[in-house]
Structure 1
């Protein structure tokens, strides 16, 4: 495992599935609560960590929405994003495509501009400081209505120069992609990239809906695809990318044991899968932790690890020129490890 671990550490990587609010570490939660005069129901960092014991997606979401209550000012969103970028840089992540959930902040009285400016200022500084490039994806909360998603899109429209795409997250079961068909069509007309969580806890049908009705450019999670051979063939034929999150799946009991994770089956079938951290503070690991854990659990080979890193750039929204440059760097690192 030592050599694989070294390879993982040295490979340039892109992260395509990361919720900024899910990178809120307990230490920062406490610090921001104090700074903003917010009372937490936890008495210590240790108590918060102890609460990170979930049996399903909803258990996690309840804590996730509660935790983000400390995020109130532009500087809070800046600090949150900056802290994540530092962690990503330490893992040799060179490009990030991050999610944010404006509706969860706006319903607490925080303005869209406050959230967006804090995040984008940090992304710009992260590019200067660490050389890490970025794309920003605004998510619609699927437990809310499509009308509310349209309202968010209207608020965001004057700011689209800073937003690269839209996504769909939150409680999956009972909220199929078809619920958001019209708003995704509108987002596409505005020139935005489209992604959606599908097939995490939901069935393969949700993945089909995301593809056929929402016309998405990339699938977030997509685990359920492994249960549908026709869907696997379709994903391979269309070159669709899946942004899989192994430690998240384990912590949310989607696949309670990493050895049962469908990532290797999909990868070896020819599906373009990637490895990401999802909500790293809550799920116990950033990108390299996810690579290492899944490589160990599924006995991935060195070329398979390299393929995952390559897929992360191929499946990104970077320009072809930038993708090629990153792939050349990956190949150079792999070459060193082969000799």
Structure 2
């Protein structure tokens, strides 16, 4: 089979997906009508033309605006279900999704409304589509520590639904140390931990996320290439990096896809994975991200499969579940 077909059929695992970032313009308008919320756009075409970003902040401004249409449990269910149908289309067998409770609680939406809608859709995805999943709750780093602690308290009754905590939003000016105490408390409560680091921010954010936040994965992490000793450390420890190619080029972390260092990091032995981040805003879901890398880098099918192997290894599921996913991948790769 040709490489495009190979990528389309390749079993995939996604570890870096913001569910609010899967809000397609068509659904944004549908929910706005349903919830009687006015939008600053008159058409889906106008929304899509606004998706030209200079940097992370210019994206976040419109991202939070779009999230305003999400007000009821059914909205979060519908959003998550639409994403799961894309997973089915892209042969994503397992996904670990982020959600940003503060984006919603800050505007008066109950924490329970958000988590219950997302969780119910994921349960239906497991039952009806055979797609397994985990939920990771992210703290917004542009908000203060007090808000993060309050959010952590709100999450405690939902430990059966939430496997870990993360850190996202504006990286510049909001270093990991700002949330060290919150992450310590989250670890004590039994949550796993991840953090966005080394996307726009300096390589020191990766070091600090490892040392101060005690994370189990680094989200993005592409700036690690600025420090050869860190690259060696990440390779030796198999610390996973959840990299998002289309996002990185859309937000100008790399000028163009052929400049991306993902394949180089893979060949240096790092546990790098491919993910879609905020696919509605960045122009593609999982298959699109794999295709973008394959079309701009001379990458083999075995290397493409290695991204899935790495993602299975890095996932927050049981060893038994990892073995089952590896078996499915091995059947495909022959």
Matches within 5 A, 1:158-169: 158-169=157-168
Structure 2 counterpart of 1:157: 156
Output the CA distance in 2 between the equivalents of 1:4 and 1:211: 36
Matches within 5 A, 1:269-288: 269-288=268-287
- Unaligned regions of 5+ residues in structure 1, if any? none
Deviation at 1:89, TM superposition (A): 1.0
Deviation at 1:302, TM superposition (A): 1.2
Question: Over residues 234-265 of structure 1, what are the superposed CA-to-partner deviations in whole Å (9 max), with x where a residue is unaligned?
Answer: 11111110000000001001112011111011
Matches within 5 A, 1:43-54: 43-54=42-53
2:77 pairs with 1:83:
no
Deviation at 1:310, TM superposition (A): 0.9
Deviation at 1:87, TM superposition (A): 0.3
Structure 1 counterpart of 2:291: 292
- What's the secondary structure of 1:42's corresponding residue? coil
Structure 1 counterpart of 2:206: 207
Output the CA distance in 1 between the equivalents of 2:294 and 2:205: 28
- Unaligned regions of 5+ residues in structure 2, if any? none
Contact 1:226 1:265 in 2 (8 A): no
Output the CA distance in 1 between the equivalents of 2:308 and 2:7: 9
Structure 2 counterpart of 1:317: 316
Question: Over residues 99-157 of structure 1, what are the superposed CA-to-partner deviations in whole Å (9 max), with x where a residue is unaligned?
Answer: 00000101111000100111101010111110000000000000011111011101111
- What's the secondary structure of 1:161's corresponding residue? coil
State the aligned residue count: 334
TM-score (norm 1): 0.97
Structure 1 counterpart of 2:11: 12
Matches within 5 A, 1:1-339: 3-335=2-334
Output the CA distance in 2 between the equivalents of 1:3 and 1:198: 35
Output the CA distance in 2 between the equivalents of 1:234 and 1:245: 21
Contact 1:54 1:60 in 2 (8 A): yes
- What's the secondary structure of 2:2's corresponding residue? helix
Deviation at 1:278, TM superposition (A): 0.1
Deviation at 1:312, TM superposition (A): 1.2
Deviation at 1:295, TM superposition (A): 1.4
TM-score (norm 2): 0.99
- What's the secondary structure of 2:171's corresponding residue? coil
Contact 1:167 1:194 in 2 (8 A): yes
Deviation at 1:179, TM superposition (A): 0.8
Output the CA distance in 1 between the equivalents of 2:198 and 2:96: 20
